[in-house]
Structure 1
Amino acid sequence: MATLNISLPDQLRDWVAQQVKQGEYSSASDYLRDLIRNDKRQQEQSAKWLKGHLEPILNTQEDEFQSLNADDIKARARKRLNNSGGDE
């Protein structure tokens, strides 16, 4: 197992020591490994969620797109505002 030395401000070092003292972690290294695992898991879940939302868009067929200019987009926005009861 590799070693990694890090510097922490006193407040963070005290926080880590408190987590170990409470007994859930056997050492500061154990606590930091758990934080890293949780961060890794969260980032993987975020990437999976993003992929799930972007994949359908990226797999859209070319013929499903419409060519719009700025006036078309403004007209659509106005229509949506009018249909939702919003004010301009």
Structure 2
Amino acid sequence: MNKPITLNVRISGALGEFVAANVGDQGAYENVSEYVRDLIRRDKERSEAEQFQRLKAELTRAFAAPEDSYDALDAEAVIARNRRA
């Protein structure tokens, strides 16, 4: 397991008020740490979903290409091409 990271963040003004409204008795989170962890999880999920959508779009384009546009490559050719890149 990775070592936990400690973050110290100062938030003031409208952002601080927004966080305060979401934490405690009236908020959806018990404490600021719980709120920040949830935000990070959501951002991670969003990032992974974007990466998946990019991959899906690229694969969709690849599979839509005409058959004669493909080059037959063996494993050695693929490895060599990737080493050059």
| TM-score range normalised by the length of the shorter chain | 0.5 to 0.7
Match of 1:17 in 2: 20
Establish whether residue 28 from structure 1 lines up as the match of residue 28 from structure 2. Answer: no
In structure 1, runs of 5+ residues without a counterpart are: 66-88
Match of 1:50 in 2: 54
User: Percentage identity across aligned positions?
Assistant: 34
Kindly provide the CA deviation profile for residues 23-72 of structure 1, in whole angstroms up to 9, marking residues without a partner as x: 4211011111101100110111111111111123346478338xxxxxxx
Q: How many angstroms apart in 1 are the aligned matches of 2:57 and 2:5?
A: 37
Question: Deviation at 1:11?
Answer: 1.2
Match of 1:37 in 2: 41
Give 1:6's aligned amino acid.
Answer: V
Give 1:63's aligned amino acid.
Answer: D
Taking only aligned residues, the RMSD between alpha carbons, in angstroms, comes to: 2.3
Q: Greater CA radius of gyration, 1 or 2?
A: 1
Match of 1:4 in 2: 7
Q: How many angstroms apart in 1 are the aligned matches of 2:66 and 2:9?
A: 50
Q: How many residues align?
A: 65
TM-score normalised according to structure 2 size: 0.61
In structure 2, runs of 5+ residues without a counterpart are: 71-85
